[in-house]
Amino acid sequence: MRTSKDASAKPATTRKPDTRVDFQTLESAIGHEVRSLRHKHDLGIAELSRQAGVSAGMLSKIENGAITPSLGTLKSIADALNVPITTFFEHYEEKRDATFVKAGQGLTIERRGSRA
C-alpha cells in the first residue's frame, strides 16, 4: 500500500530568481544589453535594424552573441537607441572604484627590475 507522502520526496523550497547575469563572453554581454535596450524602447528587431542601418539578421546575431560586432556597428546601434556606446559594456567588467592618494602618502610597490 502506498501512502500519499513518499519518504524520499524532498520538501518544496521557494527560491528567489537569480537576477545576476554572468556573461561568458563579451559578445553575450553586448547582445544582452542591445536586446534589453531594444525592449526598453519598445522596438522590434526590424525597426531597430532600420534605424541603425544594420540588417535584421546581423542584429539578431548580435543579440544572440553569435558574432562580434564592429565598433562602427555598435556606434550605429547606440545612436539609434540614443545611448552612449559604453552602455553595451557596463555589465561585462567589474566596476572598480578609484581612490585619491596624495603624493608621497601611498604604498611603495616594488616590482622586479625596478629601481624603487
Burial 32-63 (b: 16+ CB within 10 A, else e): bbbbebbeeeebebeebbebbebeeebbebbb
The per-residue pLDDT string of the chain (116 residues; one tens digit each, 9 = 90 and over) reads 444 444 444 444 443 333 445 567 889 999 999 999 999 999 999 999 999 999 999 999 999 999 999 999 999 999 999 999 999 988 776 666 777 788 878 777 777 775 65
Domains in the chain with CATH codes? 26-89 (1.10.260.40)
Q: pLDDT value at position 96?
A: 65
What would the 3-class secondary structure string for 57-112 be? HHHHHHHCCCCCCCHHHHHHHHHHHCCCHHHHHCCCCCCCCCCCCCCCCCCCCCCC
pTM: 0.62
Look at the chain and count its residues: 116
Nearest-angstrom CA–CA distance, 32 and 22: 11
